[in-house]
Structure formats: C-alpha cells, structure tokens
Structure 1
Amino acid sequence: MQQLLIPTDFSENAWNALKYGLELFKKTECTIHLLHVNSIPPYSGAGTSVQAAGENFKDILLKESKISLQELLVRIEKLPANDRHTFVPIALYDYFVDTVKRESETKKIDLIIMGTKGASGLKRATIGSNTGDVIVKVKCPLLAVPEDAAFSPPGEIAFVTDFHIGYDPKVLDTLINMAVLHNSIIRVLYISKKGEELCDEQVKNKDFLDD
C-alpha cells in the first residue's frame, strides 16, 4: 500500500495538486494523509497572559483547520468514487518544513505531493517557497504539481541527471512504480559539454541506473 502525504492550505492550487495525485494513483491502494499545518509565527510571547492567549489562539486555529479538513473530505467525496483510497486528515500547529519532515518519517511516506504556487522572489519562482524548502530539507520523494496542471497519463518520463548523484533505490522504486502504473517509458537524459567524457564516478552511477 502506498503512503502519500499531501499538504494543503485549502487553496485551489492545493486542490489541483490533490486531484492530480488521486488521478495518478487511482489504480493503486493508497493511504492519503491530508496535512494542514498552522505555522508557528516567527516570534514567541512573553509572560503568562500572553502565553495563555497564544495557547487559546492555537486551539482556535486547530479547530478551524479540522473543520476545513472535513469540508475538504466532503469535496473529495464528490469526485468519482475510489475504494482504493483511504484518507487521513491531520491538523497541526508547528513549523511547516519540520512537520512535513516528521510526518514523512513517522508515517513512512512513499511520496509527498504539493502544488507549486506561492513563489516569493525570482529564485524560487518556478516551484514556490514551501515546496522548494521541502525538496531541499526533507529526504522523501516529492511530486511538484505546477499551478493549473491538468492530469494526463505520463507516456514518457524524463529522468534528468549529470550522473554525479548516487540515487537512493527507494527514490527509484517510487519512479518505477509510477511508470509501471501507466506503462510509461523512462528516458534518462544526460547533457554533456562538447568533447566531455564521463569520469569514473559518473560511469559508476550510470551503470547503477542501467541496472
């Protein structure tokens, strides 16, 4: 059974990423963890009264999040029924990336699915700040779904590499499983400079991918 983690902020972009994931794995038995994180503000209150107010604020946020998650489940129920999918709503109050990392480890997540809207600044304009942070800091395969992307079965998948990275077999298994589901072709793409030859490390990693 696949364990999927889909963070949501209840935006249409997050909804689109969720629908994309459901279509991608519609033939697979999955437990889908729907995670909403109420991020801790970058400051802490001082004093008992402020702390008490903060705790009350946390309770209010979590209550609202749980309601929104139930509304999301109702929206999901309006999609074509799929008895292969089980949904687990999760509402937490914590730092976003830390939470995603912890949940992916404790629940043995096979794949994280996130939308890419929400970029701040040119550097992250293609993926968004939260998605970019998760890619960098969380050791779990992640599928980034571009804003307004419409699902179509992946006929061909491009695996772009410079052969300098030795890949974790779990990451490759996730990719292979996705390809098998849709009879997709995986094409490993390496682009070299003119006259450049592979070093010993690159040859080793290339042979690993061939295997």
Structure 2
Amino acid sequence: MKRILLPTDFSQNSWNAISYALQLFKDQTCTFTLLNTYTPIIYQLESAQLSAAQFGLQDAMKEVSENGLEQLKNRIEKEFNNPKHIIAYSSAFNTLTEEINALNDGNVMDMIIMGTQGASGVKEILFGSNTIHVINKAKCPVLAVPNDYEFEPPHEILFPSDYLISFNKKQLGSIISIAKQFQARVNVLHISTRPELTSIQKYNQEQLKTHFKETTHLFHNVRNNYIPEAIAEFQQKSRINLLVMINNKHSFFENLFFKSNIKHIGFHLNVPFLVIPSNL
C-alpha cells in the first residue's frame, strides 16, 4: 500500500494537486493523508512562548484547520469515491517543513504531492517558499503539480541528467513504477557543452541502462550551453507529461532551480515535476 502525503492550505492550487494525486494512483491501493499546518502569526515572527490570548487564537486556528480537513475529506470521497483509497487527515500546530521533518523521521510516507504555489501564489515565480523548503528537506520523492494543470496520463517522462552521480534502484523506483503503470517512455536527456562523456559519466550512463532495462526508454544527447532552454525545447517537442530530476547537491539541478535560472525556467515548467532526493 502506497502512503501519500498531501499538504494543503485549502487553496485551489492545493486541491488541483490532490486531484492529480488521486487520478495518478487511481488503480493502486493507497492511504492519502491530508496535512494542514498552522501557527499564530505572533508565534511565527517572535518564536515566543504562547500567552493566554495566543492559546485562544491557537484553539480557533485548530478548529478552522480540522473543519477544513473534514470538509476536504468529504469532498474527495464524494467526487472520487475510490474503494482502493483510504483518506486520512492530520492538523498540526507547526510549520509545514518542521512537520514534514517529523513525519520523515517517523517514516510515515512514500511520497509527497503538493501544488507549486500556495494560496498567495505569484505566477512569475516557479515555486512558492513552502514547496522549495519541502523539496530541499524531504527524505522521500516530492511531486509538485503546477497551478491549473489538468491530469493526463504521464506517457512521456523526461529525466534530465548530467551523469555525475551514481544511480541506485531505490532512487529510480518512483520513475520505474510510474512508467510501468502507464506504459510510459522514459526520455533520459543529457545536456552537454563538451563532445565526449568522461569515464565516470559513461559508467553512470551504463548504470541507468541497466536499471531501465525492463522499462521503455531512450537516451538523448543535446549540445546546448543553456540548460533551461534545452529542457524547455525538448519538453515542448516531445509532449512531455512528467519532468523528473534527482536533487543532487552541487549538480546542475541545484544551479537550475535554486539559483539565477529559476525565473527563466519558471515560464516553461508547465507539467508536474517529480524531485527525488539523492540520498535515498
């Protein structure tokens, strides 16, 4: 049974991600846990001990959170009504990232699926701050679903790689599982500025071939000095339904999504984005 965590702030974007998750795993037995976190603003700003007045505010926020989760659970069961799915929920007095850290330590989820933006999302930015923090801290795969994205089966998966890390079965498990479920093709894209792979890159590429031997896949090599442009062009040309990357520190993933290129790639990222931690 898969265990999927669905963070929600009750925004349309978070509902869109929940809807995507329920359709992605509609044929699999899953437990989906809706998670809403809350902290009084004074507590967030000052990290102060709660006064009596703040305790009253906390109680009110807890009630709003639990009522919202109950309504969301009822909506899911009414609109999707899938006997394979168990819907649970959790309301926590905590920040989202700290609560997810605690859940990571308890090993209670296999994947996190959330929207790219929260209730106050800005369209020009690729990810909201919560999503960035979750991607960087999570110890399981995180699937970020763009605002307004309508579900379509992920038949074409794009997996860019610089071949600078070794790959293991656990890291690639999510990709292989989704590919087999939807009879999808995995497009491994190497974007280079040099004509030849190093010996390490060749070895890691061979590792990928071994891992993907029972999965339909193609290897692509593109010469381009500008990685965001190469990914965007391939994505549009090949009608990609899912973008997957391994979050490896000091690789082009970090440079691409969390440094100067973030605004540029943001205009092109219009498909769900699965991020896999490198230390799986």
Q: TM-score, normalised by structure 1?
A: 0.89
Is the CA contact 1:110–1:174 (under 8 Å) kept in the aligned structure 2? Answer: no
Letter in 2 for 1:43: E
Deviations 1:44-85, CA, capped at 9 Å, x for gaps:
336xxx522223322221121111100101111221321110
Residue 94 (structure 1) shift: 0.9
Q: Measure the CA separation in 1 of the matches of 2:73 and 2:94.
A: 22
Tell me: CA distance 1:155–1:35, structure 2 relative to 1, closer, same or farther (3 Å).
Answer: same
Residue 153 (structure 1) shift: 0.6
Is the CA contact 2:4–2:32 (under 8 Å) kept in the aligned structure 1? Answer: yes
Match of 2:154 in 1: 154
Say if 2:192 is the partner of 1:192.
Answer: yes
Residue 28 (structure 1) shift: 0.5
Letter in 1 for 2:199: D
Tell me: CA distance 1:162–1:210, structure 2 relative to 1, closer, same or farther (3 Å).
Answer: same
Is the CA contact 2:162–2:191 (under 8 Å) kept in the aligned structure 1? Answer: yes
Say if 2:44 is the partner of 1:45.
Answer: no
Q: Give the alignment of 1:169-208 within 5 angstroms.
A: 169-195=169-195, 197-208=196-207
Is the CA contact 1:156–1:185 (under 8 Å) kept in the aligned structure 2? Answer: yes
Is the CA contact 2:73–2:88 (under 8 Å) kept in the aligned structure 1? Answer: no
What are structure 1's unaligned runs of at least 5 residues? Answer: none
Q: Measure the CA separation in 2 of the matches of 1:4 and 1:30.
A: 7
Tell me: CA distance 1:167–1:91, structure 2 relative to 1, closer, same or farther (3 Å).
Answer: farther
Letter in 1 for 2:135: I
Once structures 1 and 2 are overlaid, which stretch shifts more, 198-207 or 151-160? Answer: 198-207
Q: Measure the CA separation in 2 of the matches of 1:13 and 1:152.
A: 17
Is the CA contact 1:8–1:34 (under 8 Å) kept in the aligned structure 2? Answer: yes
Residue 15 (structure 1) shift: 0.3
Match of 2:76 in 1: 76
What are structure 2's unaligned runs of at least 5 residues? Answer: 211-280
- 3-state DSSP of counterpart to 2:45: coil
Which of structures 1 and 2 has the larger relative contact order (alpha carbons within 8 angstroms, sep 6+)? 1
- 3-state DSSP of counterpart to 2:140: coil
Q: Give the alignment of 1:68-147 within 5 angstroms.
A: 68-118=68-118, 119=121, 125-147=125-147
Q: Measure the CA separation in 1 of the matches of 2:78 and 2:68.
A: 16
Is the CA contact 2:154–2:184 (under 8 Å) kept in the aligned structure 1? Answer: yes
Residue 133 (structure 1) shift: 1.3
Aligned residue pairs total 205
Q: Measure the CA separation in 2 of the matches of 1:142 and 1:17.
A: 12
Match of 2:241 in 1: none
Once structures 1 and 2 are overlaid, which stretch shifts more, 83-92 or 111-120? Answer: 111-120
Residue 121 (structure 1) shift: 9.7
Residue 120 (structure 1) shift: 6.0
Q: Measure the CA separation in 2 of the matches of 1:121 and 1:20.
A: 20
Letter in 2 for 1:114: M
Is the CA contact 1:24–1:153 (under 8 Å) kept in the aligned structure 2? Answer: yes
- 3-state DSSP of counterpart to 1:190: strand
Residue 201 (structure 1) shift: 2.7
